[in-house]
Amino acid sequence: MLTVVFIAADWVTIYFLNDLSNFGINSKRINVIVNDESKISYKIILIFFTPIVEEFLYRFGLVFSKNKTSLLLLGWIYTLYLFVKPESIDINDPKTLMLFFASFISLFLILRILISKYYNSIELLYIKRMPYIFSISVILFAYSHFTLYSNYADLTNIIFSPIILLTYFIAGALYGFIRLKYGFVWCCLAHIIWNAISVLN
């Protein structure tokens, strides 16, 4: 069943959502120029590294604990940051990367302290409001990919962003379901398979 969902979602991406120009929507992704020597490394990162990082930031914390919830909130903050300063994260600049990861670690520790302070209240929030937490995670996961598209800040693209990002909404909901029902390892594996299909297609 999950295989059918993967194939269907990938088909929608390739044959429909990749080009919505007939509707006045620019749904083209930003082209990343990679030299021949780096192509294999780039694909390995997209297939294996990226899915695991995204799962830690958007799904790991769907089960409550100090560390897990801190990572979930970190993922949410990271998504909001992308829309404020998307150009400030230069993966080719070692200094920028070091500063970025140092900020990540510092913020994680701060969030962990705050969660420890309000542990019982946050745990109760998870019990009573899990559907909302799940939904926010799905939405922010989808929109974390929006800055990868050309003219994402264009008003038309913003209005139609739920359509442009449809496969990411489907993927986020699917990974979240797998995370809660089968565990974190399985949702990572599902994400890796999805990315492999997309990258190698």
Domain-located, residue 24:
no
Tell me the pLDDT tens digit for each residue of 141-194: 999 988 888 777 788 888 888 988 988 999 999 999 999 999 999 999 999 998
Q: What percent of the chain has pLDDT over 90?
A: 48
Residue 26, pLDDT score:
58
Contact 64, 126 (CB under 8 A): yes
What is the pTM (predicted TM-score) of this model?
0.83
Domain-located, residue 66:
yes
Domain-located, residue 87:
yes
Helix (H, G, I), strand (E, B) or coil at 26: coil
Domain-located, residue 23:
no
Let me know how long the chain is. Answer: 201
* Number of structural domains the chain divides into: 1
What are the phi and psi torsion angles at 72 (to 5°)?
Answer: -60, -45
The parent domain of residue 61 ranges over: 2-17+38-200
Domain-located, residue 22:
no
Q: Which has the closest alpha carbon to 172: 141, 150, 149, 193?
A: 141
Rounded Cα distance between 116 and 123, Å, is 10
Domain-located, residue 31:
no
Tell me the pLDDT tens digit for each residue of 127-146: 999 999 999 999 999 999 88
Rounded Cα distance between 86 and 32, Å, is 15
